[in-house]
Amino acid sequence: MTLPWKQLLLLSIIDCLAECLDSGSFHGPRWRMEPSDLFIPVDSMEEEATLTCDAKGIPPSQYRWSLNGTLINLELDHRRRLSGGNLIIRSLDRYQDGGRYQCTAYNTMGAVLSRRASLQFAYLDHFKLHTRSAVSVREGQGVVLLCGTPTSSGDLSYSWVFNEYPYFVQQDNRRFVSQETGNLYIAKVEPSDVGNYTCVVMNSITKGKVHSSPTSLVLRKDGVMGEYEPKIEVHFPDTVPAAKGSVVTLECFALGNPVPEITWKRANGVPFPSKVKMKYSNAVLEIPSFQQDDTGGYECVAENKMGKNIATGRLAFHAKPQWIQTMRDTALAIEERLHWECRANGKPKPSYNWLKNGQVLITEERVYVDNGVLLISSLNLSDAGMYQCVAENKYGVIYFSTELMVLASSPDFTGNLLRALLKAKAGTIVTLECKPQAYPTASILWKKGNQPIHTNDRITLSPDGTLRITNVTKYDAGSYTCFARNRFGTSSTTGRLLVTDPTRITQGPVDMEIIVGESIVLPCQIACDPVLDVFFSWAFNGQLITKTDRHFELVGGRTAGDLMIRNIQLNHAGKYICVVDTDVESLSAVAILIVKGPPGPPDTVAVEEVTDSTAQLSWSRGRDNGSPITSYLIQTRTPFTVGWQRVDTVPEVIDGNTLTATVVDLNAWVEYEFRVVAKNSVGVGEPSPTSLQTRTEDAVPDAAPTDVGGGGGSRSELVVTWELCFTPSLFPRNCRTVRASVTLSRSVASVR
């Protein structure tokens, strides 16, 4: 195949235009559709045949076709033309068009060969029209009627007509039609078999049918055939090649009297797997989807009471190649080494070929080809292109395509420039990266100012071009330039290094105790190198303080980032961290704030015991809010008082550890409510919830009734009213008018 493809490539560039420029990356052809095998009935040769071929590529792919390995010249051909990559053939010709077709797709980036597709013509000629001589047999004898198949192409199937259409010979244990030869076998002839037999052949592709001349079967009159042992007439070959996944059928049929019985065995004694089917009274054994396990010896036994006859043969497994390892599209720098390996399984073991742009590669100079391995040492630009690994055995050939791109360019720092200004804290490690894109890899040279840098135990240069300075000092500050060079050119990038003094926190926050409601400032002040940008932030109990809490405000300037807390609340107690971030470092200082407040309210105030003037109370402790509770006060309220009043208790002073007290000097028969208030060094806290209302016991009034009056009432009744007063120590004078009626016969009134 001498190729005009390099010249055609120029044309494809013109085809490409805008599409190629837009989509950016050029690439070689990649298959979208490869041709597949075609079997065309001869009687439909008026129609066109289309062999498909389509590959995407940038620039767009061009195509050419070969038949039986010879390039088809389409220029002067009026029967064949291209449509896209498809080859369309009209006025088909059985002798000119049958064969193996292969498409090549190519563009400026390279060329690939498609799979091979065969174009075949299916046909079935007519039987020769001569009369067939009669076959005469004795009753009980076996007979074979030959079909004598005419020439054909394509799969055939056979049947026999008995006497006249549409009466077909029914297959049973006595009669069998071989689909291999078309012949009809009758194991033991009976009088009813006498008649005319016609072989019918059908082509499964053309669907065409042809009939033979009839053969007539007659019985000889000279007696009946006696019993005899089976004789196997239909016998599968000694070796049957069987493709992986195919349907395999073995035929076995015997003549004999009595009619023989057929059975099957595997030579290794292993029983047949369930997928194996027997048909036509065991004359056919069928293995769907043949696998390697099914390989081996098969035995057919034909038996009757006179004896047995055995046929044996072997099923031999084969498989066309199938990839188990392939390559990917690869981009390598010029001068690098290419190592590709492809592997396929298959039986027999496949052999390999490598193609570059459709041409076979052989070992020479920098190229080494060995089976599935392709090595190219020190790539050069001319190695770029489409490569194919081809694996082939007797039963098939497969292609795998890959593109090799060879990169060649001068160093380019785009996207990898040094930072124009790099700050580093004195004493730390500085790394300056020099990573240009360069094919082949560039050699690197660093300069500080105009002086090449000398490496030492502090300044090192790694193979990838990175410059590393440990324990950096002010003397290291300056302008650094990385020069990169390969055989295509030189490029450089420059950055300035500033070495800064370490930042210190000169005044940080300290642990403090604060009273609730106060305002404070937590200081955070630093001394730092003037070239540094500084940023302050605060964290409170692990959360960054933001502007949302109106109690907090960040105050300060370049070197101060104080935190002001206004009207501090109990929930502001905790851990405060001032964080100082500069371009080169991060520092922090921590303080714990304790916020003190008056105690929280005591809880569960209960009246344990009541008399006419005392009530015993108990309560539980509330929060001390940062300062121990020093004492408790009891307050009370009655329907007769305005607001809460402090009451006397025993003990008089209730210390912070006591949770019970007795209220004294209460009035009798009055409903009291109580509450408890705690006190600490900060102040008096919120009162507890109110106790349940409790009425004191009754008692003899402590003063004589006053304002006694009377009047009204019936004749036998006297209504007396008077005012009864109690004067507890703290309360206002507490009086009620009492009204009672007394019968006149009584001299003393007891009033309640």
Ligand X SMILES: *[C@@H]1O[C@H](CO)[C@@H](O)[C@H](O)[C@H]1NC(C)=O
Q: Which residues bind ligand X (CB under 6 A)?
A: 67-68, 96, 98-99, 163, 195-196, 214, 216, 365-366, 380-382, 458, 470-471
The residues that bridge with 268 in the sheet, in sequence order, are none
Pair of tokens at residue 172: 């049973």
Give me the least distance between CB of 97 and ligand X, in Å please.
7
Nearest Cα to Cα of residue 232 among 300, 160, 314, 161: 300
Overall size of the chain counted in residues:
752
Q: Read off φ and ψ for residue 94, nearest 5 degrees.
A: -55, -30
Give the integer Cα–Cα distance in Å for 752 and 680: 46
Comparing CB distances to ligand X, the nearer of 134 and 527 is: 134
Q: Read off φ and ψ for residue 431, nearest 5 degrees.
A: -120, 135
Per the CB < 8 A criterion, the answer to whether 595 and 514 are in contact is: yes
Comparing CB distances to ligand X, the nearer of 242 and 472 is: 472
Give me the least distance between CB of 69 and ligand X, in Å please.
9
Integer angstrom CA distances of residue 234 from 170, 178, 182, 369: 18, 8, 11, 50
Nearest Cα to Cα of residue 733 among 720, 724, 742: 724
Give me the least distance between CB of 95 and ligand X, in Å please.
7
For tokens 């195509």, the residue is 63
Comparing CB distances to ligand X, the nearer of 333 and 539 is: 333
Give the integer Cα–Cα distance in Å for 221 and 235: 31
Give me the least distance between CB of 401 and ligand X, in Å please.
22
Q: Which residues contact 671 (CB under 8 A, 6 or more apart)?
A: 638, 639, 693, 694, 695
Comparing CB distances to ligand X, the nearer of 195 and 687 is: 195
Comparing CB distances to ligand X, the nearer of 151 and 743 is: 151
Per the CB < 8 A criterion, the answer to whether 478 and 448 are in contact is: yes
Q: Which residues contact 642 (CB under 8 A, 6 or more apart)?
A: none
Give me the least distance between CB of 116 and ligand X, in Å please.
11
Q: Which residues contact 689 (CB under 8 A, 6 or more apart)?
A: 601, 603, 604, 605, 675
Give me the least distance between CB of 460 and ligand X, in Å please.
10
Pair of tokens at residue 349: 């073991």
Pair of tokens at residue 27: 């690439």
Comparing CB distances to ligand X, the nearer of 456 and 747 is: 456
Quote the distance between the C-alpha of residue 657 and its chain's center. Answer: 65
Comparing CB distances to ligand X, the nearer of 196 and 569 is: 196
Comparing CB distances to ligand X, the nearer of 163 and 727 is: 163
Give me the least distance between CB of 173 and ligand X, in Å please.
24
Q: In degrees to the nearest 10, what's the CA dihedral of 662, 667, 669, 675? A: -50
Per the CB < 8 A criterion, the answer to whether 66 and 102 are in contact is: yes
Angle at 114 between CA 110 and CA 118, to 5 degrees: 155
Give me the least distance between CB of 426 and ligand X, in Å please.
10
Give me the least distance between CB of 119 and ligand X, in Å please.
9
Nearest Cα to Cα of residue 387 among 359, 408, 364: 359
Nearest Cα to Cα of residue 595 among 624, 622, 573: 573
What amino acid occupies position 106? Y
Per the CB < 8 A criterion, the answer to whether 634 and 674 are in contact is: yes
Integer angstrom CA distances of residue 512 from 516, 573, 591, 626, 723: 12, 10, 8, 12, 62
Give me the least distance between CB of 427 and ligand X, in Å please.
7
Pair of tokens at residue 498: 């500033």
Give me the least distance between CB of 458 and ligand X, in Å please.
5
Comparing CB distances to ligand X, the nearer of 375 and 720 is: 375
Give me the least distance between CB of 192 and ligand X, in Å please.
11
Comparing CB distances to ligand X, the nearer of 366 and 551 is: 366
Give me the least distance between CB of 47 and ligand X, in Å please.
19
Nearest Cα to Cα of residue 140 among 186, 177, 197: 186
Q: Read off φ and ψ for residue 654, nearest 5 degrees.
A: -95, 115
The residues that bridge with 159 in the sheet, in sequence order, are 200
Comparing CB distances to ligand X, the nearer of 380 and 567 is: 380
Comparing CB distances to ligand X, the nearer of 50 and 239 is: 50
Nearest Cα to Cα of residue 506 among 534, 476, 483, 466: 534
Give me the least distance between CB of 583 and ligand X, in Å please.
21
Give me the least distance between CB of 383 and ligand X, in Å please.
7
Comparing CB distances to ligand X, the nearer of 376 and 524 is: 376
The residues that bridge with 710 in the sheet, in sequence order, are 720
Nearest Cα to Cα of residue 81 among 118, 47, 50: 50
Comparing CB distances to ligand X, the nearer of 150 and 195 is: 195
Comparing CB distances to ligand X, the nearer of 69 and 701 is: 69
Comparing CB distances to ligand X, the nearer of 96 and 706 is: 96
Comparing CB distances to ligand X, the nearer of 340 and 672 is: 340
SS3 of 12, please?
A: helix
The per-type count for the chain, helices as H runs and strands as E runs, is 1, 70
Give the integer Cα–Cα distance in Å for 400 and 354: 10
SS3 of 731, please?
A: coil
Q: Are strands 512-515 and 586-596 parallel, antiparallel or unpaired?
A: parallel
Give me the least distance between CB of 113 and ligand X, in Å please.
17
Give me the least distance between CB of 99 and ligand X, in Å please.
3
Q: Read off φ and ψ for residue 8, nearest 5 degrees.
A: -65, -25
Integer angstrom CA distances of residue 736 from 320, 705, 739, 752: 121, 10, 10, 12
Which residue lies nearest ligand X, judged by its C-beta? 99
The residues that bridge with 540 in the sheet, in sequence order, are 543, 576
Give me the least distance between CB of 73 and ligand X, in Å please.
14
SS3 of 73, please?
A: coil
Comparing CB distances to ligand X, the nearer of 67 and 259 is: 67
